[in-house]
Structure 1
Amino acid sequence: MARIPQRAFRHPAQLVVTGFAATIAVGTALLMLPVSRSGEGGAGFVTALFTSTSAVCVTGLSTVDVPAYWTPFGHAVILLLIQVGGFGIMTMASLLALLVSRRMGLRTRLNAAAETKALGLGDVRSVLRGVAATSLAVEAVTAVVLTTRLWLGYDYGFGRAVWFGVFHAVSAFNNAGFALWSDSLVGFATDWWVCLPLCVAVVLGGLGFPVILEVLKRRRHAREWSLHTRIVLSATPVLLVAGFVLVLANEWRNPETLGALAAHDRVLPSLTASVMARTAGFNSVDIGQLSEGTLVGTVFLMFIGGGSAGTAGGIKVTTFVLLFFVIWAEVRGEADVQAFGRRIGDRAMRQAVTVALLSVALVAVGTMTLVEMTPFGLHQVLFETTSAFATVGLSTGITGQLGTAGEMVLVILMFVGRLGPITLVSALALRERQRLYQNPEGRPIIG
């Protein structure tokens, strides 16, 4: 047996990327089997690759009707890929955070330990157990509620109710957005017992394991929460409320979305739309019928995403909030950037700017490419590329009409968008070094 060279994976990020690529390859092979597809023959390579990538990267975009195109075996494969992808993302992000903290200097390590106490520095096994326990607990509770509702409220057989409950619970907590209903959650738009548990699971998965663990450990000592936890828990409600108001206000009179519902029934679909824009991908209204204002606002929410070391995508809430505080400090003329009683280091600010600008560049390049390759308008293509990069899974309905080349563009965006921020930030942090000299300061004209 050929030995893998010791220098083949000099950086842990390389191992993460290789592992996810291998999982996608296995998933593609399984989905190409005739047993995975309804009808004659197996799925085509591009269709299987797209679905496998979307499942492993917990996106939810699909070029085919998932319930009708795939068999129960195919659905089981998709479920397994979602679980493996979501667990891998939370675990790898948490472990890379541990590794980064260990590679820092002593003083920096001590500061990092104080700010990331939820990660349990030095105890990798506790991270693995914590991620597994958190995932299974949230998924189990969500599955029980959904199973009960579908069994008693919709005349599903018990076995079918259990399967649907488990599938959608796993898909929700991992922010995947795959559904076994062709219209996603449109048929349950006003059912609180279906939509609300899914929303809660999505939010918890998007917070990230470090935040969940720290809140559980220090729920009575909020003042001792780390800066990361404070940022995520402060920004998440603000973004959720902003999205809720945006959808409710813009779609209130839209007869194709909320306007067709009774006034008191418009609250839940608005809440669901706001939550799912945080990279979950379920929809309880027709995304293709949303007003342009709602689509643009949803693009911003998708791009921001959820918390780090969680199953949500996007540039992450922490990145967005740090950039806000950088702007706020500059506007006020302050030399240091302050947030929640802490001074933000230059390194963290540079990483936030790097992640944000590279993400903007990727979405822009993907959008321009698809605009040139497809007949669709800019707002539809921008929505689609942002959804793919931020691993959201929402679509205006054009995914299956992009052609093979267009689908491959989305595959690349999903893969890079899912692993890019994690691997990039860890790579930047692990390469941190001190310069032994400084050049004279220059001041170019800005603006």
Structure 2
Amino acid sequence: MKRKANISPYQLLILVFGCFVTLGTILLKLPFATTKSISWIDALFTATSASTVTGLGVVDTEKTFTLFGELVITFLIQFGGLGIMSFAILVFIMLGKKIGIKERILVQQALNQNSIGGVIKLVKNLFIISFLVEFIAMIFLSIRWVPEYGFGRGVYLSFFHAISAYNNAGFSLFSDNLIRYVGDPLINIVVSLLFIIGGIGFTVLADIWQKKSFKKLSLHSKIMLVGTLLLNFIAMFFIFTLEYNNPNTLGGLHSLSDKLWASYFQATSPRTAGFNSVDISQLDHSTIFLMIILMFVGAGSGSTGGGIKLTTFMVIILGVISFLKGRREIEIANRSISENFIFRSLAISTIALIFISIAVFILSITEKADFIKILFEVISAFGTVGLSMGFTASLSVIGKLIIVFIMFLGKIGPLTLALSLAKPVNSRIKYPNEDILTG
């Protein structure tokens, strides 16, 4: 008898997602998907960018793809954002199939949950909330775009951008992204609310949906909501201050309201959204560095966004504070966080920094570009953000493959990749302790 291949949930998750990207690549390479022929590497790059809901592009989406190609991208964004395994569970539910323990474990890993308990209910809530939010947003965007572009085109633009924004993809059917709407309150509010809601995380959305009271929310939900509000406010303040006199960004805008809208939008977008209402390449280096930090931190765990995740960042910061205070555990809101989560957060951040460093090193050799542009591009790919300093289209073949891998890594998560390669050790042997010098 042949032995069955022992594939871990982490490996199966990567395999399924890899097949999904491959299918997207083939569909985008079809002759009727594009207005002009594109290379296989460009099709792979676009499919990966859409599936990982990143938004980086080596070609102009509006000018390169036909309606079929744009719908393929929309399909990849929706499936990639909400999760392939989540859609598989939805099909199982609709067909009345029994959902076994293996399927539940896969959904648990895909949605980054701590246990398999309640994952099916979470998937149901995920689709109800997501489709409802996207539909409402499409109606509001139609109010702006139907009068401007006609009913058919206006509704289609609203449909595409609602899905792209909610899933934090950053793909736009406008060549200048959303720069032309820099001071438009409706576009700014609807699009930003979409990627903020999508970036908070499905667990938090389901928690809010069920409990409807901040006091009753879980600690995770409270950290995500407070942390998101705090980071967005701080980022907006610094962007407004740093760019106020920059003639190529905020300084070139005539009214104070336009400057405030632009500051707000650019402050919230780096948390994995990828939309921009000013030219990113014209931002001051101090603002660029701030965005790099925001992109690395990313969105919420179990969300449509990437990055190391806001809760991971918060656990590390709180861990440092607790160490300096001489405490062995992290204490927050009358709750303590165990050492396992501290180690997990450190592992995620360290693995991410290792891969990012390797990618930046290789691109520094293969690409003719400033270091800040290379670093920005890699962090944007890892955070599945999609913001660019205008460097993406000029990437070499090797550069494109490196960014494809980093986008893939950012979507599945550095820890998932590491665990898929690591061999589990079930040893109960405990060795004697010995101190080493640190610091």
**CA 1:227/1:123 → structure 2, altered by over 3 Å: closer, same or farther?**
closer
Secondary structure in structure 1 of the residue aligned to 2:336: strand
Aligned partner of 1:106 in structure 2 is none
Q: In the TM superposition, what whole-angstrom CA distance separates every residue of 1:267-294 from its partner, at most 9, and x where no partner exists?
A: 1111111111000111100000000000
Aligned partner of 1:55 in structure 2 is 50
How much does 1:100 deviate?
Answer: 9.5
Identity of matched residues, %: 34
Aligned partner of 1:7 in structure 2 is 5
Aligned mates of 1:239, 1:207 — CA distance in 2: 12
Aligned mates of 1:97, 1:233 — CA distance in 2: 30
Secondary structure in structure 2 of the residue aligned to 1:343: strand
**CA 1:426/1:200 → structure 2, altered by over 3 Å: closer, same or farther?**
farther
Aligned mates of 1:161, 1:282 — CA distance in 2: 19
Aligned partner of 1:38 in structure 2 is 35
Q: In the TM superposition, what whole-angstrom CA distance separates every residue of 1:49-69 from its partner, at most 9, and x where no partner exists?
A: 000000000000000111011
Q: In the TM superposition, what whole-angstrom CA distance separates every residue of 1:335-389 from its partner, at most 9, and x where no partner exists?
A: 2221222221111111100000111111111111111111111111000000011
Superposition map of 1:338-353 within 5 A: 338-353=331-346
How much does 1:228 deviate?
Answer: 1.4
Correspondent of 2:159 among 145, 162, 166: 166
Correspondent of 2:73 among 70, 78, 96: 78
Aligned mates of 1:135, 1:162 — CA distance in 2: 18
Aligned mates of 2:103, 2:269 — CA distance in 1: 27
Which amino acid is 2:72 matched to? V
How much does 1:263 deviate?
Answer: 2.2
**CA 1:49/1:283 → structure 2, altered by over 3 Å: closer, same or farther?**
same
Aligned mates of 1:186, 1:377 — CA distance in 2: 24
Correspondent of 1:149 among 144, 149, 171: 144
Q: 1:90 touches 1:311 (CA, 8 Å); kept in 2? A: no
Aligned partner of 1:294 in structure 2 is 287
Which amino acid is 1:188 matched to? Y
How much does 1:195 deviate?
Answer: 1.6
Secondary structure in structure 2 of the residue aligned to 1:47: helix
How much does 1:439 deviate?
Answer: 2.4
Which amino acid is 2:263 matched to? S
Runs of 4+, deviation exceeding 3 Å: 89-92, 94-103, 121-125, 424-433, 435-438
Aligned mates of 1:201, 1:90 — CA distance in 2: 22
Which amino acid is 2:283 matched to? L
Correspondent of 2:240 among 233, 248, 262: 248
Aligned partner of 1:112 in structure 2 is none
- Residues 1:26 and 2:47 are matched in the alignment: no
Aligned mates of 1:181, 1:34 — CA distance in 2: 22
How much does 1:34 deviate?
Answer: 1.0
Q: 1:207 touches 1:232 (CA, 8 Å); kept in 2? A: yes
Aligned mates of 2:75, 2:6 — CA distance in 1: 28
Q: How large is the RMSD of aligned CA atoms in angstroms?
A: 2.7
Aligned partner of 1:279 in structure 2 is 272
Correspondent of 2:433 among 417, 441, 446: 441
How much does 1:125 deviate?
Answer: 3.4
How much does 1:223 deviate?
Answer: 3.0
Alignment size in residue pairs: 423
Aligned mates of 1:38, 1:8 — CA distance in 2: 44
Q: 1:90 touches 1:309 (CA, 8 Å); kept in 2? A: no
Aligned mates of 1:125, 1:326 — CA distance in 2: 32
Q: In the TM superposition, what whole-angstrom CA distance separates every residue of 1:80-127 from its partner, at most 9, and x where no partner exists?
A: 1101101116949x9999749999xxxxxxxxxxx97xx8x6444322
- Residues 1:67 and 2:57 are matched in the alignment: no
Q: 2:360 touches 2:374 (CA, 8 Å); kept in 1? A: yes
* Farther-moved stretch of structure 1 (381-390 vs 121-130): 121-130
Superposition map of 1:89-104 within 5 A: 91=86, 99=105
Q: In the TM superposition, what whole-angstrom CA distance separates every residue of 1:131-162 from its partner, at most 9, and x where no partner exists?
A: 1112101111111110111123xx21101011
Q: 1:308 touches 1:318 (CA, 8 Å); kept in 2? A: yes
**CA 1:429/1:271 → structure 2, altered by over 3 Å: closer, same or farther?**
farther
Superposition map of 1:150-229 within 5 A: 150-152=145-147, 155-220=148-213, 222-229=214-221
**CA 1:372/1:430 → structure 2, altered by over 3 Å: closer, same or farther?**
closer
Task: Note the residue ranges of structure 1 that are not aligned, 5 or more in a row.
Answer: 104-114
Task: Note the residue ranges of structure 2 that are not aligned, 5 or more in a row.
Answer: 90-100
**CA 1:368/1:197 → structure 2, altered by over 3 Å: closer, same or farther?**
same
How much does 1:6 deviate?
Answer: 3.8
Q: In the TM superposition, what whole-angstrom CA distance separates every residue of 1:158-215 from its partner, at most 9, and x where no partner exists?
A: 0101100000000000000000000000000000111210000000100111100101
Aligned partner of 1:235 in structure 2 is 227
Secondary structure in structure 2 of the residue aligned to 1:309: coil
Which amino acid is 2:223 matched to? I
Q: 2:306 touches 2:385 (CA, 8 Å); kept in 1? A: yes
Aligned partner of 2:311 in structure 1 is 318
Q: In the TM superposition, what whole-angstrom CA distance separates every residue of 1:292-343 from its partner, at most 9, and x where no partner exists?
A: 0000000000000010010010000110000011100111111222122222
Aligned mates of 2:269, 2:103 — CA distance in 1: 27
**CA 1:317/1:89 → structure 2, altered by over 3 Å: closer, same or farther?**
farther
Aligned mates of 2:181, 2:121 — CA distance in 1: 38
Secondary structure in structure 1 of the residue aligned to 2:57: coil
- Residues 1:140 and 2:148 are matched in the alignment: no
Secondary structure in structure 2 of the residue aligned to 1:250: helix
Correspondent of 2:371 among 345, 366, 378: 378
Aligned mates of 1:102, 1:190 — CA distance in 2: 41
Secondary structure in structure 1 of the residue aligned to 2:149: coil
Secondary structure in structure 2 of the residue aligned to 1:243: helix
